[in-house]
Structure 1
Amino acid sequence: MPVTDVSTDAENLTMTVIADFAAPVERVWAAYSDPRQLERFWGPPGWPATFTSWDQSIGGHATYTMHGPRGEKSSGRWEFLAIDAPTRLEVLDAFADEEGNLLENFPSMRMEFDFESTPEGTRMVNVSHFASAEALEQIVAMGAIEGTRMAMEQIDAVLQDLREFAEGKGTRLELIDDTHVRITRLVNGPRELVWRAHHEPELIRQWMLGPDGWEMTECVAATEVGQSYRNTWAPVGDTPGEAFGFEGEALMLEPPRRSVSTERMQGQPVETLNDLNLYEEDGATLVTVLIEYPDKDTRDMILATGMVDGMEASFARLQRTILDPAGAEG
């Protein structure tokens, strides 16, 4: 995790974030100066940012919107106050509507980013200045400290080459907090095909089977927001186990980048929120699934079923059966 400290100072009306990166200053600066890179980590998990305008010049503005998994939106606008590449950046960050018009009665903050070379890479010190104690308290109450930590945990995947970051590491599980986990898997293939493999029944049936010895007996996909999906599996031959399935509703479909759906075991009331994101770089696609559970006990119970191992078996089959024939190598 790059964040080493987050602290607030009520007397000086500041919040300070210190983070260390295993990358040179120039590489870190590039991540903060390119909206396509910045939007991969500016919002916390489940709230990815999209920068809709970008003018990184003194007096210029950048606008962005963070999109929550249930359709929530939160937008902001930066005004660039100082730029000294690659070591210093200063912006005024304020709440705005999606067109970039500032919102009244919401706090703004002046953010200073300083980047310094270290033997291990780069240290960033980000100091946010507030106009009043009330503004600082409001931002903290909105979850800024924890949100910053979770957002910054995503930057390692940005600073490294995608294959260097994830290739050969299989399906990885990260416990974010008591109710959220993040699962990542790199597959060698174009994002558009990976998207289709997750949303078209004729492709889903070929790979989303878990360990060998199981077959998918029912596959109903949701093609529009609000529609329901339903998948059922059963053991083949002498394979032990009983038939089971999952169902849910599509809350967001943004092909070929992001889909959000609810999920529950057929016949059970417990429901999770599954947020699928696909990012492609140099012909490889990073699959990221953020799962929200109702509580820690449910999270631990589901993970104990061997879910991650089953997902790895499915991803390996996705590579063999769908992506390799398209020209990728497993």
Structure 2
Amino acid sequence: MSTTTNDAVVTTTSDREVHIERDFDAPIERVWDAYSRIEQLSRWWGRGHVVDIERWEFRKGGHWRFVEHEGDQAYGFEGRFREIVPRERIVQSFEWDGMPAHIAIDTTTFVDLGDNRTRVLTDSIFHTAQECAGMLESGMEGGLNESYRALDALLAETR
């Protein structure tokens, strides 16, 4: 992780897998709430842009769908929850309207680092190497870091 920008560390662990790590200056309960409570998630998930929550069923098998607005552009994302272990892990599918029917499976793990710090690890597995490359080329890393900076701001205001 870069100490100057606090960007996420994004690495490819195989031609179909991406691993993301990011530390946050907040206790695990607050980071978990920011991921699991829609009133908080909607404030940071779309990089700070307006996000329409079309569907939010935070339970195993539940469906979610968000549309992020940036100027006259709209970007849709959706998935289904496979597993939810409070303050430990969320496993879900992820699909971006810009790459329809190319679904990744994301496992997000929350690690209590102590001293009111939390590490968030996300492992994304794609069906093919081309899908993985396509997502990386779509600007995923930049958008992710913008969202994480919005999450930093949300966590700072709830201290």
Q: TM-score, normalised by structure 1?
A: 0.45
For residues 1-330 of structure 1, the aligned pairs below 5 Å read 167-168=3-4, 169-210=6-47, 214-236=49-71, 242-266=73-97, 268-281=100-113, 282-320=115-153, 322-327=154-159
Q: Secondary structure at the match of 1:312?
A: helix
CA contact (8 A) 1:199 1:221 kept: no
Shift of 1:304: 0.7
Counterparts of 2:25 and 2:34 in 1: how far apart (Å)? Answer: 13
Q: Give identity over the alignment, percent.
A: 20
Counterpart amino acid of 2:21? T
Q: Which position in structure 2 is the counterpart of 1:103? A: none
Shift of 1:242: 2.5
Shift of 1:218: 2.3
Q: Secondary structure at the match of 2:131?
A: helix
Instruction: Compare CA radii of gyration and give the structure with the larger one.
Output: 1
Change (3 A) 1:167 1:280: farther
1:156-203 C-alpha deviation (Å, 9 max, x unpaired): xxxxxxxxx775541111110011110111110011111111121110
Shift of 1:229: 0.8
Q: Secondary structure at the match of 2:33?
A: helix
Q: Secondary structure at the match of 1:313?
A: helix
Counterpart amino acid of 1:305? S
CA contact (8 A) 1:170 1:186 kept: no
Counterpart amino acid of 1:276? T
Counterparts of 1:199 and 1:298 in 2: how far apart (Å)? Answer: 27
Q: Which position in structure 2 is the counterpart of 1:53? A: none
Unaligned residue ranges in structure 1 (runs of 5+): 1-164
1:25-46 C-alpha deviation (Å, 9 max, x unpaired): xxxxxxxxxxxxxxxxxxxxxx
CA contact (8 A) 1:189 1:285 kept: yes
Instruction: Provide the aligned C-alpha RMSD in A.
Output: 1.9
Counterpart amino acid of 1:293? F
Q: Secondary structure at the match of 2:19?
A: strand
Counterparts of 1:193 and 1:255 in 2: how far apart (Å)? Answer: 12
Unaligned residue ranges in structure 2 (runs of 5+): none
Counterparts of 1:225 and 1:198 in 2: how far apart (Å)? Answer: 15
Shift of 1:317: 1.1
Aligned residues: 156
The one of the two structures with greater contact order (alpha-carbon pairs below 8 A, sep at least 6) is: 2
Counterparts of 1:199 and 1:167 in 2: how far apart (Å)? Answer: 27
Counterparts of 1:166 and 1:222 in 2: how far apart (Å)? Answer: 35
Counterparts of 1:170 and 1:314 in 2: how far apart (Å)? Answer: 10
Change (3 A) 1:224 1:317: same
1:67-123 C-alpha deviation (Å, 9 max, x unpaired): xxxxxxxxxxxxxxxxxxxxxxxxxxxxxxxxxxxxxxxxxxxxxxxxxxxxxxxxx
